[in-house]
Amino acid sequence: QAQLQESGPGLVKPSQTLSLTCTVSGDSMTRGSYYWNWIRQSPGRGLEWLAYIYYSGSTYYNPSLESRLSISADTSKNRFSLTLTSLSAADTAVYYCARAPSTGSSPGAFDLWGNGTLVTVSS
């Protein structure tokens, strides 16, 4: 059974860069049926979809954050990563990675989630 596990720093200083990794187990990212996503959740902003990467390498970002976001994948290690630059307190949130099945031309709804990792932006 597939599982997702996020990893990354719990505390980051303002203006710094956040790097998170999601390790996929029990499934292969290159199977071609899924999009691999990052989503965050905070009391102030609710649930917010951030970005996805497809097994082919194609990516798509939330336009409101696109200038600060980068998503990449290391298929040899079956994991994908998110980078978010120029952090502020508003980026404090629980960050989730999630899998979405392909609907043919775009991602469907998220059918598998990691447990999430809390990231606090504070000096």
Interface residues with another protein (CB under 8 A) are: 46-49, 60, 62-64, 96, 98, 100, 103, 106-111, 113-116
CA distance to 44, 74, 116, per residue, from 81 (Å): 24, 8, 14
Q: Give the shortest CB-24-to-another protein separation in angstroms.
A: 15
Cβ closer to another protein: 47 or 75? 47
Q: Give the shortest CB-50-to-another protein separation in angstroms.
A: 9
Cβ closer to another protein: 3 or 16? 3
DSSP annotation of 45 reads: T
Pair of tokens at residue 86: 């120029």
Cβ closer to another protein: 29 or 107? 107
Cβ closer to another protein: 75 or 120? 120
d(CA 104, CA 119): 33
Confirm if 24 and 7 have CB atoms less than 8 A apart: no
Q: Give the shortest CB-32-to-another protein separation in angstroms.
A: 19
Residue 49 has a CB neighbour count (10 Å cut-off) of: 18
